């Protein structure tokens, strides 16, 4: 049987990308078509290596070839990815900036930012993490890098800060430049300059995602980051209590302000329930149930997932190895991986919508 490239493209034009609601051919996601007798191979270029729909899309392609051409064809599909980007993030080489924010302090924003960054990297993406929390930088402790000082290097005749690499991601924290025992009286302009330097004066190289751990609340740093760099979207972290949810709403309100206008990628509910290690099936909703989900519904944003309150998360963070790195297939790590997949999905959707405007 002889088949042609046109027949293959015609068949695959019946396969829709479920998030982007267009067919794979229109989206230019089918490449490298090769036909050798009854053997067909092609690549599907996904929008992120963390794509949770990878298996579904691959099956749909096989079914389309079988249905529209023939069941007798031997199909070899290379599922690969090229992370999409908005036109310009303001930081050379960086495709997407993901801000992680919370209204209230202590809700686990840094824990989510660190594990999100690691889970994205484990999917095969190039990832950086900026700890912009001047009031309580957590990256040095969470990554076992207390006392670390980034080096400077010369890149294209300019002096650049070299981010520190750990567990496959590039890191910079405001805590690498301050003495943890000396309080720093940050003034507005100083803060703004220091934060911009973490983005602009560092040698980030090529990154698919630069995750930014913002301080709690809504302040100078939020304004500086969102108004200086076109942030792709924000992940909002909350706990289920009403006080945390009320503050989270204020944080969301800031991102939605016309002058800021950063899309909300979704809501993560942290410390959603308590699970004793010896009874992992038991869930105790000690702070109330579904607060994060209701908040997401209220603002018509995706609910990204719920993380249990477990000792392993705080212990691994304190010991310098975030849980996604420490127990890669444990229940908490698995939930972080799912959240990372949903975040990557939302980034692709935001970018696709932007490219249409």
The number of beta carbons lying within 10 Å of the beta carbon of residue 53 is 15
- Residue 116 interacting with ligand ATP (CB under 6 A): no
54 is known to lie in a ligand binding site: no
Can you tell me which of 48, 110, 218, 345 binds ligand ATP, judged by CB under 6 A? 110
Of the candidate spans 29-37, 46-54, 82-90, 302-310, the one that interacts with ligand ATP by CB under 6 A turns out to be 302-310
Q: Which of these ranges, 21-29, 60-68, 99-107, 116-124, lies near ligand ATP under the rule CB under 6 A? A: 99-107
288 among annotated binding-site residues: no
Instruction: Put residue 300 in one of left, alpha, beta given phi > 0 → left and psi -120 to 50 → alpha.
Output: left
The answer to whether residues 279 and 327 touch, using CB atoms and an 8 Å cutoff, is no
110 appears as a binding residue in the annotation: yes
Q: Of residues 11, 116, 307, 344, which one binds ligand ATP by CB under 6 A? A: 307
DSSP state, residue 84: -
Which 3-state string (H, E, C) describes 130-182?
Answer: EECCCCCCCHHHHCCCCCCCCCEEEECCEEEECCEEECCEEEEEHHHHCCCCC
Q: Could you give the CA distance from residue 116 to residue 215 in angstroms, rounded to a whole number? A: 17
Q: Is 21 annotated as a binding residue?
A: no
Cβ–Cβ < 8 Å for 264, 256: yes
Q: Which of 109, 166, 222, 342 binds ligand ATP (CB under 6 A)?
A: 109
96 binds ligand ATP (CB under 6 A): no
Residue closer to ligand ATP, measured from CB, 105 or 144: 105
Phi then psi for residue 22, to 5 deg, are -135, 160
Residue with CB nearest ligand ATP?
105
Burial class (CB in 10 A: 0-12, 13-18, 19+), 54: middle
C-alpha–C-alpha distance, residues 350 and 233, integer Å: 8
Size of interface with ligand ATP, in residues (CB under 6 A): 20
* DSSP string for 199-266: HHSB---SBSEEEEEPPSSS-HHHHHHHHHS---EEEEEE-SSHHHHHHHHHHHHHHHSTTT---EEE
Neighbours of 314 (CB within 10 A): 13
The verdict on 304 binding ligand ATP (CB under 6 A) reads: no
Establish if 107 lies at the interface with ligand ATP (CB under 6 A). yes
Check binding of 234 to ligand ATP (CB under 6 A): no
Q: Which is nearer to ligand ATP, 105 or 302 (CB)?
A: 105
- Alpha carbon distance 167, 317 (integer Å): 13
Shortest spacing between CB 18 and ligand ATP, in angstroms:
30
Tokens for 106? Answer: 């202590």
List 118, 317, 322, 350, residue binding ligand ATP (CB under 6 A): 317
Would you count residue 310 as binding ligand ATP (CB under 6 A)? yes
Among 49, 108, 240, 322, binds ligand ATP (CB under 6 A): 108
- Whats the size of the chain, residue-wise? 357
| Site track for ligand ATP across 123-162, x = CB under 6 A | ----------x--x-x------------------------
270 binds ligand ATP (CB under 6 A): yes
Site string for ligand ATP, 161-200 (x = CB under 6 A): ----------------------------------------
Q: Is 111 among the residues that bind ligand ATP (CB under 6 A)? A: yes
103 annotated binding-site participant: yes
Structure tokens given for 294: 């209701």
- Give CA angle at 209 (204, 210), nearest 5°: 55
CA 190/CA 54 separation, integer angstroms: 45
Query: Which residues line the annotated binding site for ATP?
Result: 103-110
Q: Would you tell me which residues interact with ligand ATP (CB under 6 A)?
A: 102, 105-111, 133, 136, 138, 216, 270-271, 307, 309-310, 313-314, 317
């Amino acid at each position: 049987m002889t088949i042609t490239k046109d027949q293959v493209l015609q068949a695959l034009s019946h396969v829709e990308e479920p998030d982007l609601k267009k067919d794979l051919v229109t989206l230019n996601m089918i490449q490298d078509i090769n036909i050798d007798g009854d053997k067909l191979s092609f690549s599907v270029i996904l929008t992120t290596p963390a794509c949770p729909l990878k298996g579904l899309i691959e099956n749909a392609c096989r079914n389309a070839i079988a249905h529209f051409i023939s069941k007798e064809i031997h199909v070899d599909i290379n599922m690969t990815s090229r992370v999409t980007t908005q036109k310009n993030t303001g930081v050379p080489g960086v495709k997407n900036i993901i801000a992680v924010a919370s209204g209230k302090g202590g809700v686990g924003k840094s824990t989510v930012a660190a594990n999100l960054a690691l889970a994205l990297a484990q999917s095969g993406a190039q990832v950086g993490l900026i700890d912009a929390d001047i009031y309580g930088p957590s990256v040095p402790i969470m990554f076992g890098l207390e006392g670390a000082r980034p080096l400077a290097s010369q890149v294209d005749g300019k002096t650049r800060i070299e981010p520190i690499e750990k567990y496959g991601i590039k890191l910079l924290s405001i805590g690498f430049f301050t003495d943890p025992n000396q309080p720093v009286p940050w003034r507005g302009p100083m803060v703004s300059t220091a934060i911009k330097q973490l983005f602009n004066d560092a040698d980030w190289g090529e990154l698919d995602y630069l995750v930014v751990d913002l301080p709690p609340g809504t302040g100078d740093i939020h304004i500086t980051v969102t108004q200086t760099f076109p942030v792709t979207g924000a992940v909002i972290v909350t706990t289920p209590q009403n006080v945390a949810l009320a503050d989270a709403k204020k944080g969301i309100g800031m991102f939605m302000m016309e002058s800021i206008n950063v899309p909300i990628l979704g809501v993560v509910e942290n410390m959603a329930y308590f699970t004793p290690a010896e009874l992992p099936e038991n869930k105790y909703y000690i702070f109330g149930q579904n607060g994060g989900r209701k908040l997401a519904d209220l603002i018509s944003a995706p609910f990204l997932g719920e993380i249990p309150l477990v000792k392993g998360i705080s212990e691994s963070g304190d010991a310098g190895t975030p849980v996604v790195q420490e127990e890669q297939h444990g229940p908490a790590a698995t939930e972080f991986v799912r959240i990372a997949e949903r975040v990557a999905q939302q980034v692709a959707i935001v970018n696709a919508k932007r490219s249409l405007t």
